Structure 1
């Protein structure tokens, strides 16, 4: 079986023939039909692991003896975090914070030709012909949507729509700002459009991403290299700032700009995942007196088994446009070209 392995000397990948682990009682084997490409593959240090955090699959040809949620032949979507369903967080409808997720996904999944056992990043490893995963890491779906579109749901789409509907809870006629208009940012924009936001302001230094944002539902765009982001947002929102701002860049500077661009009583959602050592400095008086929450948005607060089928339905009915977000198709043996394209914007 071919899979892409991240090596300790860099984030570029080695496509290798490996031996998959025999499925355990709660494992399923998934034939991968398509995988998204994510900035996490660049941002997370490579330490001999399979990639990457989002996937779709054509069929599950094999399941473990204790698997009840997935049947042989099911189509499934891989999720960023496994969900046990029984821990303190899961039983309180916060499955994205599952206490047991790491334990369920940290086991080695394949063996290289030199005998080295390799774990799969977040328990998946979708840059591969097939993968062996815990059944808590996938959601079965019934749909005829193509794999390449479903592949976007497991990570980018779920993060973006979840930030809109779960974290910020955007209401009709709201004004929103999205700082960073890549894959997740485009999903935020589409989610805001579906939620009925009146003004959707997309911010990105790259013209191609601003143009794509307009196609996704943005009403306005800002090039932060040629105009002051906060001043432009205030000009477009009656000098008050936006109801909701979404920071999708994972940068301390843009996090501060997202705070400044939100109106008093607004919501600031941090969708991007900053580096572990990144720090921000906020004015304490503003934190107290402006009454606007600064919210983390881990996986969009998603309950995967509840929300992913709803997202599929939005796509099937044409409310969510997944086709426009598939900009390039790359075969497995050219995966490093996809990583380089991602780095180049």
Structure 2
């Protein structure tokens, strides 16, 4: 069928809304009519070239939700009219990682930046009008009015789910929340230092608060983001990491934070080093943000790493198990314990996608959302 979507023809580049063709679903696939999509910074990393993809053009978007309009043959568990929230990482449920509770590391994710079907790097479900293939960002492409996806990437949601907000559960919320709760292991009474309070950092604040952290210190140069962090549960919000580290040390006899979470917009090794300097002995640095994939090196003192037993941990999707964690977070939202409405600063039409990213770069949004 014919649809419209926002594509990148190259990187660096800008999104361009064009007419596309999207295939009917095959076995173990569903076609979705999109309701909403979050404007995640990761798609901007694709646009800048920090996160290159294998196939151009590529239709962007990986955080969204919609309604099933077609179900592939011999595909069980889905019906037309079902609501779905995407997981930007697939979960097959069978590989070593899925079977040991690490669905975020599912083997299917090996082709995540190819834009093809998970098990066949030559098989695509989107085309330009001339028939040439279009890659799907993370196999999903939520920046399209309609998209065909593997069921490995979709989580069924209850009929009363407000997808215009629950769409955020497919990336930002789980990534930030899990960075604190799962990867960081924040515990009751902890002091937590969070570098960056955009769409991911704001949810790290919520996760740390839920885990019972006594002090949640947010560092962000943008006053609007600091104010939002305070409204979401941060106890302190400052403009520089030096200020944040001093506050953490003032509560811990000079030691530093128990956990530091790095969720800045574009990460460098220096950001990790700053977080490393801000944690106590046996403290943990959680690295969640993305930057240029070619960057190498973290300037941390080796002796301090050894003698203080400090830890640096990467965090992909907040170490989530999306098939369990997305429904859990949705239930927390529906029960009033998780804030999603407050995360959405501005809603955009698909044609205004580049304005949405300009607003993100200018610090005007916690999360922008495309409403279809």
Distance (Å, rounded) in 2 between the aligned partners of 1:143 and 1:262: 44
The alignment partner of 1:18 has SS state of strand
Aligned to 2:256: 241
SS of alignment partner, residue 4 of structure 1: strand
CA distance in 1, matches of 2:222, 2:273: 20
Q: Indicate the residue corresponding to 1:52 in structure 2.
A: 61
Q: Within 1, Cα distance between the matches of 2:213 and 2:157?
A: 29
Q: Describe the SS at the equivalent of 2:125.
A: strand
Deviations 1:88-112 (A, max 9, x none): 2222211111112345445422111
Q: In the alignment, which of 199, 203, 228 is matched to residue 212 of structure 1?
A: 228
Partner SS, residue 15 of structure 1? strand
Provide the C-alpha distance between the structure 2 equivalents of 1:64 and 1:16, rounded to a whole number of angstroms. 26
Residue 121 in structure 1 maps to residue 137 in structure 2: yes
8 Å CA contact retained: 1:75, 1:140: yes
Q: Does 1:29 align with 2:31?
A: yes
CA distance in 1, matches of 2:268, 2:336: 33
Q: Quick one: distance in 1 between partners of 2:64 and 2:322?
A: 13
Matches of 1:98 and 1:186, distance apart in 2: 26
Q: For residues 55-83 of structure 1, give each alpha carbon's deviation from its aligned partner in whole angstroms, at most 9, with x where no partner exists.
A: 111x1111112322433221111111111
* Deviation at residue 203 of structure 1 after TM alignment: 0.4
The answer (yes or no) to whether the contact 2:215–2:236 under 8 Å persists in 1 is yes
Alpha-carbon RMSD: 1.6
Q: Secondary structure, in 3 states, of the residue corresponding to 2:192?
A: strand
- Contact in 2 for aligned 1:84/1:101 (Cα 8 Å): no
* Unaligned stretches of 5+ residues in structure 1: none
Question: Aligned equivalents of 1:115 and 1:288: distance in 2?
Answer: 56
User: Cα distance 1:165–1:67, how it changes in 2: closer, same or farther (>3 A)?
Assistant: farther
* C-alpha separation in 1, matches of 2:353 and 2:324: 31
Q: Is the 8 A contact 2:218 2:244 kept in 1?
A: no
Instruction: Find out whether 1:86 has 2:104 as its counterpart.
Output: no
Verify: 1:98 aligned to 2:114, yes or no: no
TM superposition outliers: structure 1 runs of 4+ over 4 Å: none
> 1:61 is matched with which residue?
69
Identify which range, 62-71 or 147-156, moves more after superposition. Answer: 62-71
Q: Which residue of 2 aligns with 1:335?
A: 353
1:77 matched residue in structure 2: 85
Conserved in 2, the CA contact under 8 Å of 1:12 and 1:339?
no
Equivalent residue number for residue 269 of structure 1: 286
Contact 1:6 1:50 in 2 (8 A): yes
Distance in 2 between the 1:150 and 1:235 partners?
38
Offset at residue 142 of structure 1 (A): 1.1
Aligned equivalent of 1:201: 217
Aligned to 1:164: 180
Could you tell me how far 1:229 is from its partner in structure 2? Answer: 4.3
Are 1:326 and 2:341 matched, yes or no? no
CA contact (8 A) 1:229 1:257 kept: no
1:248, CA displacement in angstroms?
Answer: 0.8
Which deviations, in whole Å up to 9, do the C-alpha atoms of 1:288-332 show, x marking residues without a partner? 111222111111111110111000011011110101001100001
Q: Paired residue for 1:15? A: 17
Taking structure 1 as the reference length, the TM-score comes to: 0.95
Partner SS for 2:141 = coil
Contact 1:34/1:151 (<8 A) preserved:
yes
| Correspondence 1:192 to 2:201 | no
Q: Which residue of 1 aligns with 2:276?
A: 259
Contact 2:249 2:255 in 1 (8 A): yes
TM-score, with length taken from structure 2: 0.88
**Structure 1 residues 143 and 222, CA, compared in 2 at 3 Å: closer, same or farther?**
farther
Following the alignment from structure 1 to structure 2, what is the Cα–Cα distance between the partners of residues 9 and 245? 32
User: Are the counterparts in 2 of residues 267 and 293 from structure 1 also a CA contact under 8 Å?
Assistant: yes
